[in-house]
Amino acid sequence: MQTMQHIIEQAFDEGIELRRQYASALLAPLEEAAACMVACLQSGGKILACGNGGSAADAQHFAGELVNRFEMDRPGLASVALTSDASVITSIANDSAYEEVFARQVEALGVKGDVLLAISTSGHSANVIRAVQAAADKGMRVIALTGKDGGTLAGHPGIDTLLNIQHKATPRIQEMHITCLHILCSLIDHTLYGDAS
């Protein structure tokens, strides 16, 4: 039986190792994703974000950082978490199917030039996959955060930029996802507003 101390040390060690592993591997895709988001915002577009469970929390966290502020005072940036409106989500799930809860919102809110941030630890979330297809159909760019082997999302033709964390443990994947999202926030702020504070 593992001791509490061993569980704590293992969590830290795995997290540190993942950051070392992906510090260079994610350089290009993070730059690409940030450039895509910046171009969208500069052209008057918006970033829609979706995911389930912990990934829903990450979608809302990311939207909050953009709409309000991250590390500097600057104008609000257009972003909507498709996970936040219980009335919209439950009406779609009740009248259609849970698989459509994000796709329907993409159809209603998304326009060509917008960006969809699709988050799925497994890469197999049916409602996220449907949202990606809906975004691709509208001419939106799609950035996906996945884990493990990337699942179905990794091979989806609608994905423009893939940030995949190959690890067996969902908590470690989600920790890396929020790290990636914070880096994207920093890159967006720096590119749009320099070192203003």
CATH number, domain containing residue 94: 3.40.50.10490
For residue 187, what are the domain limits? 26-193
**One pLDDT digit (tens) per residue for the chain, 197 residues:** 899 999 999 999 999 999 999 999 999 999 999 999 999 999 999 999 999 999 999 999 999 999 999 999 999 999 999 999 999 999 999 999 999 999 999 999 999 999 999 999 999 999 999 999 999 999 999 999 999 999 999 999 999 999 999 999 999 999 999 999 999 999 999 999 997 55
Residue 56, helix vs strand vs coil: helix
Domain contains 171? yes
**Per DSSP, what are the bridge partners of residue 147?**
165
- The pTM (predicted TM-score) of the whole model is 0.96
Continuous H helices in the chain: 4-25, 27-42, 54-67, 86-95, 103-109, 126-137, 151-154, 170-193
Amino acid at 50: C
**What SS3 state is found at 94?**
helix
Number of domains in the chain: 1
CA 105, 55, 91, 67 torsion-angle sign: negative
Task: Identify whether 139 is part of a domain.
Answer: yes
Residues 55, 53: Cα–Cα separation, whole Å: 5
What residue has token string 């919209």?
A: 88
